[in-house]
Structure 1
Amino acid sequence: MKLFGAILEEELRASSQLKTLAAETVLMQTNSYIRSIPVVLSGSMRVMREDEDGREILLYYIKPGESCIMSFLAGIHEDTSKVRLVVEEDAEVLMLPVAKASEWIKTYPEWAEFIFKLYHKRFEELLDVINAVAFQKLDDRIFTLLKRKASVYGSNEFSITHQQLAEELGTTREVVSRLLKQMEKQQLITLSRNKITLNTAL
């Protein structure tokens, strides 16, 4: 997957370490120091916020051609990560040293534009998360998350457990299971073992 112009693309490939990661691999833990930032070539990753009790909530997904702006910001300020980064689908990732990522802001305008656009996109996604938690009912949040996952996977049918949904929403498996059954009765979704199908168009 080509992301940039020839010169920057060559520099990116030469400066980064290519990693192939299986789904559910934890690439970055909360409170860890960041030496490299991921640039996703294929597959996807999810960015989770974790509290002191281990409860989590999904912040956003990283798709091909994107990176994690929160990792970048923490890295250039020599701060620890405030999020946990988990592979959603099997992924190929370029791990770019933070020093290079910071240096290129000044030397490559297209890299600076890439970072600024990413910052803007993530800011809007975080506002969506805040609005959902503050103003949406949980069943609406579940359905919104299912649609986001369908978009990430490029399919209305995908594998996921009720426990994973609960963790990404910051609630319990029992509550999620009850609401999913209600949604199935409304014919919004079809449930099968560790799999959900959305009965609506992407």
Structure 2
Amino acid sequence: MKDDLFEKWMEAGDIRTFPAGTVLLQDGSYIRSVPVVLSGVVKVLKQNDEGREILLYYIQPGESCVMSFLGGLHEEKSKIKAVVEEDADVLLIPIDEVRRLIREEYGFIEFMFRLYHRRFEEVLSVLEAVAFKRMDERLLSLLHKKVLLNGSPQLQITHQQLADELGTDRVVVSRLLKQLENEGVVQLGRNRIVVMKTSP
């Protein structure tokens, strides 16, 4: 992201700080602004009618949410849920300003198209994992991803949170984590998991 372009985006929106756990965008709500993450991490999930969720992708610093971008432009209700994973500073650009940036700033469109391509590949990876990978493989892959995002092998997370992101039941995740602990892959504590082997 070029500095001169980013400065124009900063002028178009407001920067807000959100603690971990904050829901930035609720499934079924109207999209009023497009988030650009400046620091921290935001996770994007898909929720079904029963309330079960599955992780689609993470938004890291310097990235935005293409789903909110497209939904906001078409004045549609959100089809995803966005939750702050780590305390985050987020630039919120109102939809009217997004429309102006599309008209006036080619760099903004280019930025969103690059992100769209990346997110499409990530969502395909999720579909592939759900269709073809065992749950233990998916769990281990998620743990490795979180280690990379957090920059630490020690994760403050519950079994229920992992189950929610994988779209499965807590008892399944607890059983698989115990199996991984017996294999020396992880070390379990209260709301804490230490990943002993960090290579996927």
Q: TM-score, normalised by structure 2?
A: 0.95
- Is the partner of 1:44 in helix, strand or coil? strand
- Where structure 1 has 5 or more consecutive residues not aligned to the other structure, the ranges are none
- Quote the offset at 1:86 in angstroms: 0.4
Identity across matched positions, percent: 51
Q: Letter of the 2:2 partner, please give it.
A: F
Shift, 1:15, TM fit:
1.4
Pick from 149, 153, 160 the counterpart of residue 163 of structure 1: 160
SS of the residue 1:20 aligns to: strand
The residue number in structure 2 matching 1:80 is 77
Q: Does 2:146 match 1:149?
A: yes
Write the letter of the residue equivalent to 1:116: F
Question: How far off is 1:19 after superposition?
Answer: 0.7
Q: 1:4 — aligned with what?
A: 2
SS at structure 2 position matched to 1:132: helix
What CA distance in whole angstroms lies between the structure 1 residues aligned with 2:154 and 2:118?
Answer: 26
Offset of 1:128 from its aligned partner?
0.4
Counterparts of 1:136 and 1:201, CA distance in 2? 19
Q: Give, in whole Å, the separation in 2 of the partners of 1:137 and 1:46.
A: 22
| Cα deviation, residue 102, structure 1 | 3.0
**Map of 2:110 onto structure 1:** 113
Q: Which ranges in structure 2 are unaligned for 5 or more consecutive residues?
A: none
Runs of 4+ that moved beyond 6 A: none
Q: Of 2, 10, 33, which aligns to 1:13?
A: 10
Q: Which residue of 66, 79, 94 maps to 2:91?
A: 94
Alignment of 1:1-202 (within 5 A): 3-6=1-4, 8-201=5-198
Range moving further from structure 2, 98-107 or 55-64: 98-107
Equivalents in 1 of 2:106, 2:147: separation in Å? Answer: 33
Distance in 1 between residues matched to 2:188 and 2:98, nearest whole Å: 43
Return the letter of the residue paired with 1:72. Answer: F
- Partners of 2:152 and 2:119 in 1: CA distance: 23
Q: Which amino acid aligns with 2:175?
A: R
The change in CA–CA distance for 1:54 and 1:201 in structure 2 (over 3 A counts) is closer
Cα distance in 2 for residues equivalent to 1:9 and 1:176: 41
Residue deviations 1:47-69 (CA, integer Å, cap 9, x gap)? 01001111110100110000100
**For the residues of structure 2 that align with 1:201 and 1:58, how far apart are their CA atoms?**
20
Does structure 1 conserve the Cα–Cα contact (< 8 Å) formed by 2:144 and 2:198? no
Local SS of the residue matching 2:62:
coil
Shift of 1:99: 2.3
TM-score, normalising length from structure 1?
A: 0.95
Which residue identity is paired with 2:62? G
